[in-house]
Amino acid sequence: MGDTKVLEAVERYIRGEMNPDERLHFENLRKANGEIDELVVEHTLFMQQMNRFGEWKKFRSTLHDVHTDLAEQGKINSARLTGKAKVVYLWKRYKRVAAIAASIAGITTLTISALVWTITPQTAPGELEKLKGKINVIENTTKAQGQEINKVKNKISSSDNTIVYTTGGTGFIIDTKGYLVTNVHVVEGAHNIAVQNGRGEYTAKVVYMDAAKDIAILKIDDESFKPYVSIPYTISRSSGRLAEPIFTLGYPRNEVVYGQGYLSSKTGYKGDTLSCQLELTANQGNSGSPILNKKGEVIGILNGRQKNAEGFSFAIQGKHIYKVLEDLKKDQKKDTLYQRIKLNSRSTISGMEFQQQVEKVEDYVYMVKVN
């Protein structure tokens, strides 16, 4: 403890943050104590190096940004936007290779598109706003349950395993004790909620809803659920950076589905500042899916897409989860259980390839089934 205090003083001294009295006092101490003097010298060197290192890093990122900007504006001939001179040069150099490659590529493209065209199932025209999905009843009930559907309908509130869930979305864990985040529109008006992934199937209940933000907090409420040891991702406090690559995991069908894209706008539908826009294809059932970036931070919660528009989606910015949790804690002042909800502060998957991140995150994303 004493060491940290000494170091703090040394740093303030080096930065010139001490007032004259303090400074005098510290200088006397320095004269009297050789160890402190040595620490000052050593630490000055270290801090100088750190500062220069920081500036070097910053300059490198400036260079990178400038290059991208200039290339986009066509002010430099970059690899991505091939200038005329370069094309001519490359053409001369690789004329034959290019010809062969082009014909191979052409044939391959035709073959593949023909294949894809024949294989791809025809998707129904999408005209949905919210991505709450309808779960195929048959897929979700066991064969035996099929005969009991009528019975089940009559005692829908009983919580045995014969509940037939009809709609669903996605949710993800924010606290090791089994708290999840999903969209309000996924769980609105629910009688029963269950969550399911490779780990198992558990019943859950809604503990808080913020309809304006479309954020709902669920709690797994099942004896068979074992708390997690840790959570690999964090919830971002900032709104994400334009063009940053993102991925999502969700349950548009009974199997977990991966999607990848980038943040295309910091605002959502019609300039909504609560949300953001993603270049990402999403489907019914993707509602409530976490949007993660390379740093392993959840920057958003997928909640919709524009009618008749494919390829981009909207997400509520992840930072609002903090606000909703605060509101929940205020609301439930007496209940210490809720006061103990704690978000993970360190991402253990920062900087990993998306493939590896997905492996780690998969267990924390659930299909949310509702009836």
Partner 1 sequence: MKQAINEKELLQGLAVNDKKAVETIYKENYNMVQSLIINNNGSADDAKDIFQEAMIVLYEKVRSGSFELNCLIKTYVYSVSKRLWLKRLQQLNRYSPPIDDLESAVPVDEDMEDHEKRDAEFEMMNKAISSLGEPCKSLLEAYYLQKQNMQVIAANFGYTNADNAKNQKYKCLMRLKKIFFSHYKNENGNG
Binding span for partner 1 by CB under 8 A among 30-38, 54-62, 224-232, 306-314: 54-62
Q: Would you say 75 or 226 has its CB closer to partner 1?
A: 75
Q: Which of 3, 127, 160, 255 binds partner 1 (CB under 8 A)?
A: 3
Q: Which of 25, 64, 95, 226 binds partner 1 (CB under 8 A)?
A: 64
**Per CB under 8 A, 70 contacts partner 1:** yes
Q: How far is CA 242 from CA 98, 351, 353, in A?
A: 35, 18, 20
CB of 153 vs partner 1, minimal distance in Å: 46
Number of residues forming the site for partner 1 (CB under 8 A): 47
Amino acid at 305: R
Nearer to partner 1, 52 or 226 (CB): 52
- What's the min distance (Å) between Cβ of 76 and partner 1? 4
Residue from 201, 348, 354, 360 touching partner 1 (CB under 8 A): that is 348
Comparing CB distances to partner 1, the nearer of 72 and 148 is 72
Residue 95 in contact with partner 1, rule: CB under 8 A: no
Give yes or no for residue 65 binding partner 1 (CB under 8 A). Answer: yes
SS (H, E, C) the chain: CHHHHHHHHHHHHHHCCCCHHHHHHHHHHHHHCHHHHHHHHHHHHHHHHHHHHHHHHHHHHHHHHHHHHHHHHCCCCCCCCCCHHHHHHHHHHHHHHHHHHHHHHHHHHHHHHHHHHHHCCCCCCCCCCCCCEECCHHHHCCHHHHHCHHHHHHCCCCCCCCCCCCEEEEEEEEECCCEEEECHHHHCCCCCEEEEECCEEEEEEEEEEECCCCEEEEEECCCCCCCCCCCCCEECCCCCCCCCEEEEEECCCCCCEEEEEEEEECCCHHHCCCEEEEECCCCCCCCCCEEEECCCEEEEEEEECCCCCCCEEEEEECCHHHHHHHHHHHHCCCCHHHHCCCCCCCCCCCCCCHHHHHHHHHHHEEEEEEC
Which one of residues 25, 31, 67, 155 is an interface residue with partner 1 (CB under 8 A)? 67
Choice between 29 and 343, CB closer to partner 1: 343
* CB of residue 58 to partner 1, shortest distance in Å: 6
Which residue stretch of 27-35, 39-47, 181-189, 216-224 sits at the interface with partner 1 (rule: CB under 8 A)? 39-47
User: Among residues 17, 22, 38, 69, which is the contact residue for partner 1, using CB under 8 A?
Assistant: 69
In the set 25, 58, 151, 205, which binds partner 1 (CB under 8 A)? 58
**Does residue 344 belong to the site contacting partner 1 (CB under 8 A)?**
yes
Q: Which of 44, 77, 145, 281 is close enough to bind partner 1 by CB under 8 A?
A: 77
Q: Which of 56, 91, 94, 258 binds partner 1 (CB under 8 A)?
A: 56
Residues binding partner 1 (CB under 8 A) = 1, 3-4, 7-8, 42, 45-47, 49-60, 62-67, 69-70, 75-79, 83, 85-86, 89, 237, 342-348, 350
